[in-house]
Structure 1
Amino acid sequence: MLHLAQTHLTYDATAQDVSIFSSQGSVIVALLLMMVIEFQDRGVLFGWPSVNSTDYMGRTLRSSTHRSVTLIRKYHGYIIMWAAVFTFWYHPMENTLGHVMGFVNTWIFMLQGGLVYTDMHLNKYWRFVLETWVAVHGAIVAYQTGGPTGYWPMFTFGFSALVVFTQLFTLPFWKHLPTWTRYVPALVYLTITLHTYSSLPDENGRLWTRLWEPIVIPLNQYFFALAICGLVTLCLNIESKFNASFIHKSLVQVEYVGCIIGFLLLYLTKIVFSWAYQYYDAQLPGNPMVYFVGVFTPSAIVASFFIKRLVESKV
């Protein structure tokens, strides 16, 4: 209600101060964490690797990411709630379909945070909705802003690829079906995708030249999810060495204050970066989203380690 009143008074919320890519980047980080959280149950592709996987690559992937996935499952809420609140206050409460779908997205994230420690928080069907809502929202916003010749296919088929190759296997009924059935949604998806792109011309009127579009989003999501696991593992190793040091044992209170300051500074860094990119109208090469995810992800992960130290502190 406060945000609705603010929209009618000043309209723009924080959109006038920070880059739109900061809002989108914060949500991407939340979605990346969801992928990591679900890894232990559904794997990466078509339910692989599962707990029963016997192949070398599957066993290696599960064993090498076990510690990082476990930690993210425990402390993910701090990052996801920041992402939801950040993007919530970025957008004015417009009455377009794209805005409505986006606000529903942030609201269900917030609702999930309010359901923590309840059975509903762990419900797989509900978690599936949380993670895949962006496929519909992204497609609608892309069409709304770019029209029929814009990049709506990239968002539609890019996020849908994540659904049929990975996210669909969050749902528990797949474990009771024959393995071959897991490939059916992907085959349907590929058929629809190829049919759609067969009539989608590029700016020069050529067909079949835009088939790279649906690949971009899944590749980035898989890469950054793996990078998160690697970063968390690195931080865990650094923490273990810190725990063994004399300084940690003798300066507990200093560490406690340092964790609070470090936590606040890291989140302040994200805000300043978001503002500076907008204020100075930065024109960096490549996709700006990569820069924001690249800044937000490590700062949020390290901030979570400060939270971890505060929670486990003996002070």
Structure 2
Amino acid sequence: MIWLAKRRYEHFSSRMRGLNWCFLAGHILFFIAHYIQTHIWYDGLASDVPEVTALGSVALMLIVVLLLEAPRRGLFWGHGKRLPKRMWITLKKYHGYLFTWALTYTFWYHPTASSPGHLIGFFYLLILLWQSALIFHEFHRNRYWIILLEIMVIPHAVIVAYYQGNQLWPMFLFGFSMVFLITQMHTFKMIPILKISIAISFALVVIGTYSYFGRLEQLHEIMRIPLLDYSIAGLIILAFFFF
């Protein structure tokens, strides 16, 4: 349907059109199918494929969003807007296929269970699928809606980590928040002093949190997510520079 939408619609519209409703109907139909499948067999793809593949599919999607939005907000503190033009055109042209695969894969990976982690996860998936149903709709490219979709990964990751009973929830909270601080925050028009104030406040909250839980020696873990995200983004950029 993505291919068909690209052929049928040349311009964005402020109203829902035929294929938008088809996307929405398809999402509802397959959600019902997955709900039934869970109650009969329970296991999704999780019993057959490694967990890292589901995590990686969504992570790759979020990294590509960073690159797609770079011409508007930059990649590092408002800088890095002039990325390879061929890369941006390619990602813009084909990102729908990649994102649909990522969402479909992780959707069928998890059973439709009612644990807090599953509930917040499926809520996140549903709004991402709603975004796919808005193909060639004006709201599909609304920058504030897009950033909401990006940062919703924070409560999802934190809640999942917390209810798993491990101590990694601060890593997810502050790791993804660092990506917001470095890149996503610059979607908004803010004076430099405000940005610096937010960064300083963030650093104080991070230190305070790790001090409170007696885990200052683990403070470095918050760098894992940003390093992974920007390393993969860098590899994608380099690939378009040299190939």
Report the TM-score range of the alignment, normalised by the length of the smaller protein.
Answer: 0.7 to 0.9
Matched, 1:228 2:236: yes
For residues 122 and 43 of structure 1, the distance between their equivalents in structure 2, rounded to whole angstroms, comes to 16
Measure how far apart 1:187 and its partner are.
Answer: 1.5
Measure how far apart 1:170 and its partner are.
Answer: 2.1
Tell me the amino acid that sits aligned with residue 169 of structure 1.
Answer: H
Match of 1:104 in 2: 123
Tell me the amino acid that sits aligned with residue 195 of structure 1.
Answer: G
Query: Unpaired runs of 5+ in structure 2?
Result: 1-31
Could you say what secondary structure the match of 1:107 adopts?
helix
Matched, 1:142 2:161: yes
Match of 1:183 in 2: 196
Identify if the C-alpha distance between structure 1 residues 13 and 49 changes in structure 2 by more than 3 Å, giving closer, same or farther.
closer
Match of 2:206 in 1: 193
- The structure 2 residue matched to 1:67, chosen from 59, 80, 86, is 86
Question: What is the aligned-residue identity percentage?
Answer: 35
Count of matched residue pairs: 212
CA contact (8 A) 1:77 1:113 kept: yes
Match of 1:120 in 2: 139
Measure how far apart 1:221 and its partner are.
Answer: 0.5
Tell me the amino acid that sits aligned with residue 146 of structure 2.
Answer: R
For residues 127 and 240 of structure 2, the distance between their equivalents in structure 1, rounded to whole angstroms, comes to 26
Matched, 1:23 2:31: no
Match of 1:58 in 2: none
Match of 2:108 in 1: 89
RMSD of aligned C-alpha atoms? 1.5
Could you say what secondary structure the match of 1:46 adopts?
coil
CA contact (8 A) 1:146 1:152 kept: no
Deviations 1:264-285 (A, max 9, x none): xxxxxxxxxxxxxxxxxxxxxx
Work out which of the two has the higher radius of gyration on C-alpha atoms and give 1 or 2: 1
For residues 97 and 136 of structure 1, the distance between their equivalents in structure 2, rounded to whole angstroms, comes to 11
For residues 227 and 44 of structure 1, the distance between their equivalents in structure 2, rounded to whole angstroms, comes to 14
- The structure 1 residue matched to 2:179, chosen from 152, 162, 166, is 162
Match of 2:15 in 1: none
- The structure 2 residue matched to 1:11, chosen from 35, 42, 46, is 42
Measure how far apart 1:19 and its partner are.
Answer: 0.9
Tell me the amino acid that sits aligned with residue 210 of structure 1.
Answer: Q
Task: Give me the TM-score of the superposition, normalised by structure 2.
Answer: 0.83
CA contact (8 A) 1:139 1:156 kept: yes
CA contact (8 A) 2:84 2:240 kept: no
CA contact (8 A) 1:12 1:92 kept: yes
For residues 141 and 79 of structure 2, the distance between their equivalents in structure 1, rounded to whole angstroms, comes to 21
**In terms of mean alpha carbon deviation, does 78-87 or 185-194 score higher?**
185-194
For residues 227 and 98 of structure 1, the distance between their equivalents in structure 2, rounded to whole angstroms, comes to 31
For residues 45 and 146 of structure 1, the distance between their equivalents in structure 2, rounded to whole angstroms, comes to 33
CA contact (8 A) 2:67 2:75 kept: no
